[in-house]
Amino acid sequence: MIAFNRLTKVYACVDPVSMSFSYDGLFAMVQKQMQLDPLSGHVFLFVNKNRQMCKALYWDGTGLMILSKRLERGQFTKFNPRHGKIEMTVAELSLFFEGADVSRRFIESPREFCINSLRVDDKRDESMIRSAGVAAENNSSIKA
């Protein structure tokens, strides 16, 4: 089963790629053209010239995988070339595979929540956090 998470990034190559490329050819494209590490655990997306076929290269920790799709109608999104690659989320990749237009996206996924990044803005919040910590310590000493 293929299981991507929020930390998995998707990099799309902006230049058209021949769909005759397989593992070695796509691996080389990631290294040379996109200047990224194909063994990073991220997904690398490639689209052909007429934008009806795409392949995604993915390293799952045990080997390389290629996901391939051909649209029967329509075309995949045309990427706006910037730096030779575009970064997308896994959710956007799912939409892309369905043929949705993700080129004009404006909603970015929220950043990953990190407890260390919380700041106490006023004294009331600080006292609430302290009292929650004291309550947690009391509960742990009762159970012990």
For the full predicted model, state whether its pTM sits above 0.85: no
Q: What are phi and psi of 33, to 5 degrees?
A: -85, -45
SS3 56: strand
Tens of pLDDT, residue by residue over 69-117, are 998 888 888 877 665 578 888 888 888 888 887 776 554 555 565 666 5
The pLDDT assigned to 17 comes to: 92
Tens of pLDDT, residue by residue over 30-47, are 999 899 999 999 999 999
What letter would DSSP give residue 19?
A: T
Distance of CA 129 to the CA centre of its chain: 34
Domain ranges for the chain = 10-97
Which of 132 and 58 is assigned the larger pLDDT? 58
